Copies of this chain bind each other. A is one copy, B any other.
Amino acid sequence: MSATTPQRIALIGLGTIGMSMAALHLARENTTVDVFDTRPDFEQYLRKTLPVFLSHHLTSDVSEPDSVLPEAVVSSLISSGRLQLHTSLETACASATIVQEQGPENVAFKQSLWKQVESIAPPSAHFWTSTSGIAASIQQGEMSDKTRLLVVHPFNPPHIMPLLEIVPSPETSTERVEFARAYFSVAGSKHRPVVIKKEIPGFVGNRLAFALLREACYLVQEDVVDAKDLDTIMKASLGPRWAGNGVFESYQQGGGEGGIQAFFEKLEPTLQQVWDGQGRVNLVGNEETQWKDKVISQVNEAYGSFSNEQILEKEARLKDFVNVQTKSYGHLDTQK
């Protein structure tokens, strides 16, 4: 079964990530989306929330108030049969070609869910989990056919952020990995799926982020810089650099003609000195856990709570960055 043929996706758990996924799937052609969530006001919540996410997937600038789709769009999707609401897991999964879950991050819940889904979904259906922390090899504990399950980890906010980390377990079949990659790579998609070759806690994106966060907390703890100034530094240097180039691409350029090898040779003493002196703050245990209050109070003082308007502004800016990434630059048109 090809990823571009009609698909029927059963979505289990429609919180923020699930709602964004519903919109993502509905924005494609040839999809039917079956949704199931246990919250009592599910239909009301979906009718109110889904149009916002659909707007992000279907229009170019949702920061314009007029571009948010009316709630009637949900009624139209329901009456056409493209969107189907369910009150049981059984009916939601019965005809699925893909079952995707965004439920609680809890091992027992995930294992029990997949065991049940396996018994009710068609035998060829693909099983995807949006988890950020529980590997497929753990979630599959009670499944008979462990080749069907893999992680599809989106990044916040999922309706704008292009990344999807596809993380198979050692048992996941190559065909199912390739199907997921192909599904999110369809022409016109704003999403960029990347297959991670081995399971590892935090996958890749969060491991990189948490390594930097640890050093950031250490620098605040040591009074080298305060939290707000550290954020200014990030926005005024590494953020835009890494948004345009990756990490390695930046240092390949930074090394000049000799590339990243020349960069390593030139920076060797400083780089090793920084690595040797990296902070080792901890959240758990008896050592180096005193930094937390300082970081939390500085961050609260700097930002407080974000208003809805501020969050909309952040989302609009993030969309602008993603648009810059995909913009064609005139003098290189011939290469595209």
Partner of A331, one of B200, B271, B274, B313: B313
Enumerate chain B residues within 8 angstroms of A174, measured Cβ to Cβ: none
Q: Bound complex: CA of A296 vs CA of B260, how far in Å?
A: 6
Kindly supply a per-residue 1/0 record for chain A positions 249-282, scoring 1 wherever the CB is within 8 Å of any chain B CB and 0 otherwise: 1011110010111001000111111110110111
Asked whether any CB of chain B lies closer than 8 Å to the CB of A144, the reply is no
B260 touches A234 (CB 8 A): no
Enumerate chain B residues within 8 angstroms of A1, measured Cβ to Cβ: none
Q: A155-B237, A211-B278, A231-B246 are in contact. List 15 more A-B contacts (CB 8 A).
A: A156-B254, A192-B236, A198-B224, A202-B274, A206-B270, A208-B219, A209-B238, A228-B246, A231-B248, A239-B240, A240-B243, A245-B314, A248-B299, A261-B300, A324-B324
Q: Residues of A at under 8 Å CB distance from B?
A: 63-65, 132-133, 155-156, 161-163, 165, 192, 194-198, 200-202, 204-216, 219, 222-249, 251-254, 257, 259-261, 264, 268-275, 277-278, 280-285, 292, 295-296, 298-300, 302-303, 305-306, 309-314, 316-318, 320-322, 324-325, 327, 329-332, 335
Q: How far is the CB of A284 from chain B (nearest CB, A)?
A: 5
A247-B211 contact given A222-B198, A241-B161, A312-B331, CB 8 Å threshold = no
